[in-house]
Amino acid sequence: MTFLDKFPTANLTNLPTPLEPMIGLAEELNHAALYIKRDDLTSKDYGGNKVRKLDFLLADVQAKGYKEVITFGYAGSNHCTATAVHSKKLGLNCTLVLLPQIPSYYLKYNLLTSLSFGAKFIYAKNKPLAYLKVAGHFLRTFIKRGKLPYRIEPGGSMPVGVIGFIKAVAELKEQIDKQGIPVPDRIYVPCSSMGTVIGLAIGIQLMGLTSKVHAIKVVDDEYSNDKVIKDLYDNTLQFVRKKAPEIPDLSFTDIPLVVRREFYSGTYAQSTDLSKQAVALAMKKQGIPLENTYSAQALGALVDDVRNKKVEGQSLLYWNTFNSADLSIFVADQDYMDLPKDLHGYFA
Ligand SMILES: Cc1ncc(COP(=O)(O)O)c(C=O)c1O
């Protein structure tokens, strides 16, 4: 029994996810200690990093008796898709509030997946309009059901969700010990709403590992600035401490987190030369599909660090955050005309 057992889950995950050497890529880059944490396999229904957060978030939704969740993201958001899929599994209604994004294949795929899992959509051209539409939705839901929807913050990055990644470090530590793998010097992870990397950083502090999280930023500073990081760190520890006062005091000044801003193109969801190379390398050398917005940006950063001899002799762990469950049978049945009209443009 650890303090983590005090926080219920909704049993969405298939854990532990494998921790494996990346043999093909290690050969290609001539860097011996390269490992991958296969969080693409967190669930066979829809995997990726978001499921670790949703496991705790949706348990909270159930414990508090909510019947509907509402969450936020760009059109085609992986977080929104994961929320749609896993809410449906638990019999919860799900509303997705979406903002415009650069069109791509996976955007369409995620919209159709969410549609097939019964999500409702609110699409707005900008944030002020989104706030207005959400206010209307809240009012209508309250009048109809006498209860507001449970609000999951963008990316699921709120304290109860972040616990999923504190727990992920306990899982990693156990695997390192069992498999005789060196403690990674660096863990490469893409970051936007920051919950994944902050959970990992807190977990590393609590479990006493020496690793540093290299958070590869893929969004504007608005979402991943120093204040967001500090607030989420403090609020998560405060939240955990309420139920688990036995956890030691931690200091934000020692947070094992390095935010790497230099790989960001300046436009969300824009591929870069490095991310394109990473997509190709991951498929060719490891047989793993990545996408350009998140997962390939983090692998691209790792590859760049190795090639520029910044990490000689170090053990590197790449945390794969992108779902690899194939949902194409669900997508095949869907007609984009069943989406709200404003979203049809992505399919033109
Ligand atoms: C595939 C993938 N990786 C990483 C992230 C970033 O995680 P976080 O929002 O916790 O920073 C996301 C967020 O949507 C994602 O979809």
Nearest Cα to 48, choosing from 85, 21, 6? 85
Between β-strands 19-21 and 34-38, what pairing exists: parallel, antiparallel or unpaired? antiparallel
- Could you tell me the residue ranges of all domains in the chain? 3-49+157-320, 50-156
Distance CA 53, CA 258 (A): 21
Cα 163 to Cα 299: distance, rounded to the nearest angstrom = 24
CA 140 to ligand 1 center in whole angstroms: 31
Q: What is the model's pLDDT at position 287?
A: 96
CA angle 298, 309, 169 (to 5 degrees): 40
Indicate whether 222 pLDDT > 90: no
- Between helices 159-179 and 195-207, what is the axis angle to 10°? 50
Per-residue confidence (pLDDT) for residue 91, from 0 to 100: 98
Kindly indicate whether the domain formed by 50-156 is annotated with CATH number 3.40.50.1100.
yes
* Same fold for the pair 3-49+157-320 and 50-156: yes
pTM (predicted TM-score): 0.97
Q: Is the CB of 157 under 6 A from ligand 1?
A: yes
Q: Is the CB of 300 under 6 A from ligand 1?
A: no
| pLDDT score, position 223 | 85
Mutate to test the pocket of ligand 1, among 17, 37, 49, 297 (most ligand atoms within 8 A of CB): 49
User: For residue range 308-335, what is the model confidence (pLDDT) as tens digits?
Assistant: 999 999 999 999 999 999 999 999 989 9
Q: Are 268 and 293 in contact (CB under 8 A)?
A: yes
Would you say domain 3-49+157-320 falls under CATH 3.40.50.1100? yes
Q: How close is the Cα of 210 to the center of ligand 1, in Å? A: 23
pLDDT 10s digits, 246-280: 999 999 999 999 999 999 999 998 999 999 999 99
